[in-house]
């Protein structure tokens, strides 16, 4: 019982750092260990925590260098060098502490093998430890998102604030409902653009894509394209007396192109004389309307959180997200499919927090502080395998129906 109590006290301990008079933090014990391993904190740094009588070398803090005795009874902070917030009035609650971070240098050196089921499971474990704050924030956040996301211009900052709350909770920092609007305080325009750019690209790709499929499936006939173009140019020529030489060779040009198209279309038996062109338009249209949007949506899935977390511009965030996700694009894509299935399996208010937690777990692995993941129980492995097979079967059936249709 005493050991469990000591472990909980160490887990909740907030550590302030002093390096040459410059103060940082507070950090949790786990964060201090991570920073020490990465070299961003040094053994020569001084530290203070609740219960310490004075600033002490960082390695002397209980739990930093391994198992150690739990912190003693609270003592007064060292005079003249009180950590941030220590001089607050008695009874006044500390404000959430957050030190602006910079993008880690090793992002592109990290190896990733995203397992969607393991990510969902670790997201559930994260959620289970913070059920109260999760549901309260998700209820308020979901209502706000339902109003703000359709406005598009506020969707990016709102989603950034939603993510920031879960990230701070993951790092055991103080959180508040007001964090939902944190995105309006930092790089509002860039978060808005990070959200809108994929939508704009989606529209820009779908317009020509649908036109290609429409013409390829229903409108192409022998000489149809050239006749329409020639007719349009002839109208201009009649009005402005232009292109007289072009029209003198129009018939010969149509005959030549007709013969070329007839030869090429022979490679697509049963498709007509412009079959190859129709086939190409349908394939090209499907590529523009389906393949490219899916690729960019998955590749830019971390763009808004990167702007929020590291306070960078939207284009840099989109590039970072795409380059990092490319290392395991299939894994991220399947995670998004599985996450969507989990959300649809139950009420959004119950499943959305779990999926959001899993999303933050993967984000930390890619762009934050890498942590060891809990392995899935065997019975849950089979549950996720069944769910994954169902998703793939549904997608295959839908694709097969589209091809036959």
Average of pLDDT values for 101-121?
A: 79
- Do 268 and 299 touch, CB atoms closer than 8 A? no
Average of pLDDT values for 161-184?
A: 85
Average of pLDDT values for 143-156?
A: 75
Neighbour tally for 373: CB within 10 Å:
15
Q: Which range, 96-100, 106-110, 233-237, has the best average confidence (pLDDT)?
A: 106-110
- Of 117, 124, 115, 116, the residue nearest 383 (C-alpha): 117
- Of 166, 92, 98, the residue nearest 136 (C-alpha): 166
pLDDT band at 215 (very low <50, low <70, confident <90, very high): low
Indicate the range of 247-261, 283-297, 329-343, 387-401 predicted with least confidence: 247-261
- Do 352 and 359 touch, CB atoms closer than 8 A? no
Please give the Cα distance from 202 to 288 (Å, whole number).
9
Q: Is the pTM of this model over 0.75?
A: no
Task: Return the biggest CA–CA distance within the chain.
Answer: 101
Alpha helix (H) residue ranges in 149-273: 155-170, 188-214, 224-240, 244-248, 250-265
Asked whether the predicted pLDDT for residue 16 surpasses 70, the reply is yes
Identify the pLDDT of residue 318.
94
Would you call the peptide bond into 160 cis, given omega within 30 degrees of 0 as the criterion? no
Domain 2-60, classified CATH 3.90.1200, yes or no = no
Q: Which range, 68-77, 103-112, 232-241, 302-311, has the best average confidence (pLDDT)?
A: 302-311
Asked whether the predicted pLDDT for residue 330 surpasses 70, the reply is yes
Asked whether the predicted pLDDT for residue 206 surpasses 60, the reply is yes
Identify the pLDDT of residue 3.
46
Asked whether the predicted pLDDT for residue 255 surpasses 70, the reply is no
Please give the Cα distance from 129 to 106 (Å, whole number).
30
Domain ranges of the chain: 2-60, 116-404
Please give the Cα distance from 346 to 350 (Å, whole number).
7
């Amino acid at each position: 019982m005493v050991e469990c109590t000591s472990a909980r006290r160490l887990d909740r301990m907030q550590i302030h750092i002093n390096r040459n008079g410059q103060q940082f933090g507070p950090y949790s014990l786990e964060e201090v260990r991570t920073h020490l391993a990465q070299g961003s904190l040094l053994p020569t740094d001084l530290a203070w925590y609740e219960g310490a009588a004075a600033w002490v070398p960082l390695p002397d803090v209980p739990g930093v260098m391994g198992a150690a005795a739990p912190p003693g009874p609270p003592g007064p902070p060292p005079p003249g060098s009180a950590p941030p917030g220590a001089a607050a009035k008695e009874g006044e609650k500390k404000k959430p502490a957050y030190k602006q971070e910079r993008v880690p240098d090793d992002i592109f050196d990290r190896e990733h093998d995203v397992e969607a089921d393991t990510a969902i499971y670790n997201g559930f474990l994260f959620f289970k430890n913070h059920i109260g704050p999760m549901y309260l924030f998700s209820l308020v956040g979901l209502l706000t998102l339902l109003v703000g996301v359709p406005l598009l211009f506020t969707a990016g900052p709102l989603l950034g604030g939603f993510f920031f709350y879960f990230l701070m909770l993951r790092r055991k920092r103080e959180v508040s409902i007001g964090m939902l609007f944190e995105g309006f305080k930092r790089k509002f325009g860039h978060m808005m653009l990070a959200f809108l750019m994929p939508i704009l690209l989606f529209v820009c790709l779908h317009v020509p894509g649908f036109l290609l499929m429409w013409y390829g499936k229903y409108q192409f006939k022998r000489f149809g394209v050239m006749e329409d173009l020639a007719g349009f140019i002839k109208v201009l020529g009649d009005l402005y007396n232009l292109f007289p030489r072009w029209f003198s060779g129009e018939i010969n040009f149509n005959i030549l192109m007709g013969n070329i198209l007839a030869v090429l279309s022979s490679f697509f038996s049963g498709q007509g004389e412009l079959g190859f062109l129709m086939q190409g338009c349908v394939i090209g249209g499907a590529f523009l309307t389906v393949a490219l949007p899916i690729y960019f949506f998955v590749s830019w899935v971390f763009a808004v959180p990167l702007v929020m977390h590291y306070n960078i511009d939207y284009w840099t965030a989109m590039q970072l997200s795409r380059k990092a996700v490319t290392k395991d694009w299939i894994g991220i894509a399947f995670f998004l499919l599985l996450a969507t299935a989990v959300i649809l399996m139950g009420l959004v208010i119950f499943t959305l927090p779990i999926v959001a937690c899993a999303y933050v777990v993967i984000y930390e692995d890619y762009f934050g502080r890498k942590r060891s993941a809990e392995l899935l129980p065997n019975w849950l492995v089979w549950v996720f395998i069944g769910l994954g097979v169902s998703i793939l079967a549904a997608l295959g059936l839908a694709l097969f129906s589209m091809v036959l249709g």
